[in-house]
Amino acid sequence: MTAFSASLNVHARLKNRGQIQYLFSESNEKVGKYPLLLLYTFAPKIDKSPVRVLFSVSKKKFSRAVDRNRLKRLMRESYRRLDFSLLLKSESNKQLLLALVYTGKQEETQESISNSLSQIYDVLTQRISESH
């Protein structure tokens, strides 16, 4: 019997430099709910994954790597619990690129990050359904 992997799938992470530059260009849209900001855009599909995501915490606000890594871990866990892959239909030739940026000035709890991300998810779901 195989163990269930509770981690974020490797194919769901955004690592392609070209896609990252495309995401942070002027063609992106934003959804914010303190302490998170979500940047998103649609791009041509280059692999099977419908949604790709990256997580970012400012080095200027959190100089210690331990703090940045903890916040990214909390964001990944909150993201993993929500199913963002359901936002796009699998037959679509588009790929949703997401960047979750932590904008808070102090560390927040798991609950506040999860609440913020769920509110962002609701707004994003509404925007995508209106555009399609």
- pLDDT tens digits for 50-92? 899 999 999 999 999 999 999 999 999 999 998 777 777 655 7
Q: What's the pLDDT at 2?
A: 45
| Percent of the chain's residues with pLDDT above 90 | 66
- Rounded to whole angstroms, how far apart are CA atoms 10 and 57? 20
pLDDT tens column, 8-45: 788 889 999 999 999 998 888 999 999 999 999 999 88
- Rounded to whole angstroms, how far apart are CA atoms 57 and 26? 21
Q: Which of 50, 74, 52 is nearest to 62 (CA)?
A: 74
Q: Band of the pLDDT at 3, cuts 50, 70, 90?
A: very low
Tokens of 57: 């915490």
| Topology (CATH) of 10-131 | Ribosomal Protein S5; domain 2 (3.30.230)
Q: Please say whether the dihedral angle defined by the alpha carbons of residues 116, 122, 125 and 131, taken in this order, is positive or negative.
A: negative
pTM for this structure? 0.88
